[in-house]
Structure 1
Amino acid sequence: MGKIDPDNHGIQTCSVRSGQVRTHENENSEPVFLSSSFVFNNAAEAAARFAGDEPGNIYSRFTNPTVRTFEDRLAAMEGGERCIGTSSGMSAIMTTCMSLLKAGEHIVSSKSIFGSTVGLFNNILTKFGLTTTFVPLTDYDAWANAIKPETKLLFLETPSNPLTEIADIERLADLAHENDCLLVVDNCFCTPALQLPFKFGTDIVIHSATKYLDGQGRCVGGAIIGPEAIMNEDVFGFLRTAGPSMSPFNAWVFLKGLETLDIRMQAHCR
């Protein structure tokens, strides 16, 4: 069925139909393309694909049909333009920062975030010339005062992990855009079943698919959703070269998780 318009379909329809492209076998459940690479009809076709002149799969570090189905489905559920799957939630955050920022630039982040993210900002990104200022999630003035001329990205989780603090996404999106910054929201605690950050002005949404998207503790993965202009060039360019790619088997498991996501999240809320 390809892409489903999330504005005209509910999340449950998107969760089972969006991104689905059946093969000639007319399977009901999406197939798993466990293949490291793909063949070409001739040398000219191979050259065109490697040059980017012709669409198609080359190598599963770049693209994979099962991963793309997961990406299209999650993008539709979030109401975003393009999703890129990654090997973990942390690799999604790392990929976002490394692909969109350069040495000398600055991040303002909530203090109330996952411990590994703090470690990434303080111990890893600093080696590449990126600095971070941490502020209380709900203190708007602290966010505003922390922004510098070199600030390019505001990062937060809402609800936060593990303290479940809540941010005013729309207000922080306005602040980010007034200062020519991107707002990145980690939505793994609410998922698109309960919260749609793009509706409040968020630029990029991050997921640890390991958590509620899977929901059964089976696989590790992550996702980045954002505008095609950013995703197709910067983010995909980093992923294609650096290789924090999602496994096609894990993508298939996450697809099965998305099918029941709305039902499961409603049950959690009860």
Structure 2
Amino acid sequence: MKKDDNYQFHFDTLVVHSGYNSKDYLGSLSTPLFQTSTFTFESAEQGERRFAGEEGGYIYSRLGNPTVSALESRIASLEGGEAGLAFSSGMAAISAILIALTKSDDHIICSKGIYGCTFGLLDLMKDKYRIQTDFSSMSSADEIESLITPKTSCIYIESPINPTMKLVDLQLVSQIGKKHNIPVVVDNTFATPYLQKPLQLDCDIVIHSATKYICGHGDVVAGLVVGKKDFLAKVAMTTQKDIGGIISPFDAWLLLRGLKTLPVRMDRHCSNAKFLMEKLKEHPKVKKVYYPGHSDYHDDFIMTKQMAQGGGLISFEVYGTKDDAQQLLNELQLIRIAVSLGDAETLIQHPATMTHAVVPEKERLDMGITDQLLRLSVGLENKDDIWADLSNALAKV
């Protein structure tokens, strides 16, 4: 995509055009799908040069593929990073980065509240490699500084946090990371690069479960990473290549298609969510509502400086017991019970027994995940129809 050096394309244009030039592919408007496992060489010597890293070009789709490369270039452009890497799942991306950044006996500082499988991975790394993790609210510089040790290899953050929607001041954490030469990794799945750009706040690595908003259609499982070119090149030729959690070319093609509508979809997700959040806050059977900038965390100032809008996720607590929360789910007609998010359909789940079931009860409650907490992924349907379904279910609890 060519442009005047003095002109910067807007995000809405980059999601459609960046990372691909139709002139390089016989004028094909749509990015071609290179559904191939391997690539031929013109000669034995060319194969030798490519394996030695002396010549560019494709070798084998586990090591690189043109469709995948277009996706990696596009997500790097959207996040404002030097390079991107695509993986077979969000957890493949997370595990690759944490493995790349750590060795046995290292230490990780992590936001207080993370996806259940990320918690499980950290637990596994503790058992197998003696890598310790301290969970922190990261509410002050002193709190973070007090946890840093000579063994601290990275700081890992979700913001907004899954599923409590609490925000972490990314600029504050990145300043501390730079001071101590500790890389800061941010899971940006909930916000997407449309609403939040951690690299612009001096964080080092951004991770996405591309299964969610990046895809937007509920038909792909994938992960994406953006960061410095040299670091990701090392990850690609070690952790990614040897463990093998690569994305398929077809899934990469689907993500490229999904990305083109990301801004349009996110605006609708956000406007629907804000409407529903206000309705839930007024409902007598709802105890608390958690939504960036509109919850009891008093983190409005953080949202104002690092997020463009609040996103499409709402968590809320109902009065009563776990049975009451589950009954609400069972009374819904339009809204689907499912653990993903970011789809066109509105989805709801019970974190304590679903996404965060792997987290021991004590740690789960310390994260703020009660038996009465529900997480709502607001879809693209008419907002009044979504509310009618929710309010009807609440009336029956």
For the aligned pair, the TM-score class normalised by the smaller chain equals over 0.9
| Partner residue in 2 for 1:17 | 17
Query: Is 1:182 matched up with 2:183?
Result: yes
Amino acid aligned to 2:50: R
User: Is 1:244 matched with 2:268?
Assistant: no
Matched, 1:62 2:67: no
Q: SS in structure 1 opposite 2:194?
A: helix
Aligned partners of 1:7 and 1:204: how far apart in 2? 26
Over 3 Å counting, the alpha-carbon distance change for 1:116 and 1:241 in structure 2 is: same
- In 1, Cα distance between the equivalents of 2:86 and 2:25? 25
TM-score by length of 2: 0.65
Distance 1:5 1:205, change over 3 A: farther
Q: Kindly provide the CA deviation profile for residues 212-253 of structure 1, in whole angstroms up to 9, marking residues without a partner as x.
A: 000111000001110112111245422122211111111001
In 1: Cα distance, 2:197 partner to 2:102 partner: 25
- Summarize deviations over 1:81-118 as a string: whole Å, max 9, x none: 00000111111110001112211211000121111100
CA distance in 1, matches of 2:170, 2:209: 19
Measured in 2, the distance between the counterparts of 1:119 and 1:251 equals 27
Q: Partner of 1:9: helix, strand, or coil? A: coil
Q: Residue 50 and residue 215 in structure 1: after superposition, are their counterparts in 2 closer, same or farther (change >3 A)?
A: same
Question: TM-score scaled by structure 1?
Answer: 0.95
Contact 2:25 2:32 in 1 (8 A): no
Letter in 2 for 1:242: I
- Alignment RMSD, CA only? 1.9
CA distance in 1, matches of 2:4, 2:79: 12
Paired residue type of 2:104: A
Segments of 5+ residues of structure 2 without an aligned counterpart are 272-397
Query: Which deviates further from its counterpart, 180-189 or 102-111?
Result: 102-111
Unaligned runs of 5+ in 1: none
Return the letter of the residue paired with 2:61. Answer: S
Higher relative contact order structure (alpha carbons within 8 Å, sequence separation ≥ 6): 1
Amino acid at match of 2:16: V
**1:158 corresponds to:** 159
Q: Which residue of 1 aligns with 2:261?
A: 260
Contact 1:6 1:77 in 2 (8 A): no
Change (3 A) 1:250 1:89: same
Conserved? CA contact 1:207–1:223, under 8 Å: yes
- After TM superposition, the structure 1 = structure 2 runs for residues 57-206 of structure 1, keeping only pairs within 5 Å, are 57-124=58-125, 126-138=127-139, 140-206=141-207
- Sequence identity percentage: 39
Query: Offset at 1:126?
Result: 3.7
